[in-house]
Amino acid sequence: MAPSLDNLLVVGVASSALFDLEQSDAVFTTEGEQAYRAYQEAHLAEPFAAGVAFPFLRRLLRLNALAPLVEVIVLSRNSPDTGLRILRSAAHHGLGITRAIFTEGRAAHEFMPALNMSLFLSANENDVRKATLAGLPAGQVLKSSFRDDDDPALRIAFDFDGVLAGDASERIYQSGGLDQFQRHEATNVVTPLDPGPLRNFLAGVNRIQRQAEDRIRVSVVTARSAPAHERAINSLKAWGLTVNDAFFLGGLEKAPILDVLKPHIFFDDQRGHLIQTVPCVHVPFGVTNE
């Protein structure tokens, strides 16, 4: 029987998110494609250093020691020959990545639905925006000074509106201000919000938690506050999803909370909430990105 991805959490990752490609990208930008091909061939035996998404994906893949739970697939604009170094680097670092798609310049996100992916990570803003406009769950990883620790748990943090939920309430806030937003959320407290781009990704994480609860900790860090917090909690319940922690900050800065949580990845739809001390992902979805 052919293997299936249907029951796995499937994440697509561009090489730009997984590894530090600064040197090879500089060759491509300054010297062109042929020089880039020659550079990659000459450095084929030299593994890439870890990139921003590396700690998150390494910990995610380690969960497969319990059972087949996760599949990480490289989605790359490299050609097959220039992409050889990517999978060799993954093997060098002990990552359980065996599948890859190399498209030589074609938009690789087009293959996400065929592979049942609930997330695509890339450092390329243009690629991420194209995927998001196509209705696919994608995020741009930003530069980070994060250094992993010895805690065995995988820590994942999400903003709520525009990430786990759609942007309907955010539109109320943007057009009518805080008071109108709070009234609207109180009036609609029992009406679940429409799911956002990463709702299915959280669903996949929750499935894994049922088998490895102590290995993953999920947090929501949102600018919502009482009474608007109730609709967020009710929406999660209606979707059948759970989180371990929820921070309803009422407009306070998220950075101090994130510096304590130290998530291996944090997703937010607003760049102003993203910091360099933890691995952050900009989800260019909704009204705040129009």
Sequence-distant (≥ 6) Cβ neighbours of residue 198 within 8 angstroms: 118, 119, 137, 139, 158, 163, 164, 267, 283
| Residue 282 phi, psi (nearest 5) | -90, 120
Look up residue 133 and give its two tokens: 């406009």
CA distances from 83 to 70, 111, 128, 168 (A): 22, 17, 20, 41
- 239-268: burial string, b at 16+ Cβ within 10 Å, e else: bebebeebbbeeeeebeebbeebbbbbbbb
The amino acid at residue 272 is G
Residue 159 annotated as catalytic? yes
Over its length of 290 residues, how does the chain's per-residue pLDDT go in tens digits? 456 788 899 999 999 999 998 888 899 889 988 898 898 899 999 999 999 999 999 999 999 999 999 999 999 988 888 889 999 999 999 999 999 999 988 888 999 999 999 999 999 999 999 999 999 999 999 999 999 988 889 999 999 999 999 999 999 999 999 999 999 999 999 999 999 999 999 999 999 999 987 899 999 999 999 999 999 999 999 999 999 999 999 989 999 999 999 999 999 999 999 999 999 999 999 999 98
pLDDT in the model for residue 1: 47
Contact between 24 and 123 (Cβ < 8 Å):
no
Residue 237: the pLDDT is: 98
β-bridge mates for residue 267, sequence order: 158, 281
What's the confidence (pLDDT) of residue 201? 98
Query: SS3 of 274, please?
Result: coil
Name residues whose C-beta falls within 8 Å of residue 140's C-beta, 6 or more positions apart in sequence. 121, 122, 123, 124, 125, 128, 281, 282, 284
Residue from 81, 150, 159, 161 carrying the catalytic annotation: 159
Report the pLDDT value the prediction gives residue 213, as an integer from 0 to 100: 75
Residue 3: its pLDDT value, please?
Answer: 64
How far apart (Å, rounded) are the C-alpha atoms in residues 214 and 38?
A: 46
Distance CA 197, CA 269 (A): 10
Q: Which of 147, 182, 183, 145 is nearest to 276 (CA)?
A: 145
Give the per-residue pLDDT at 87.
94
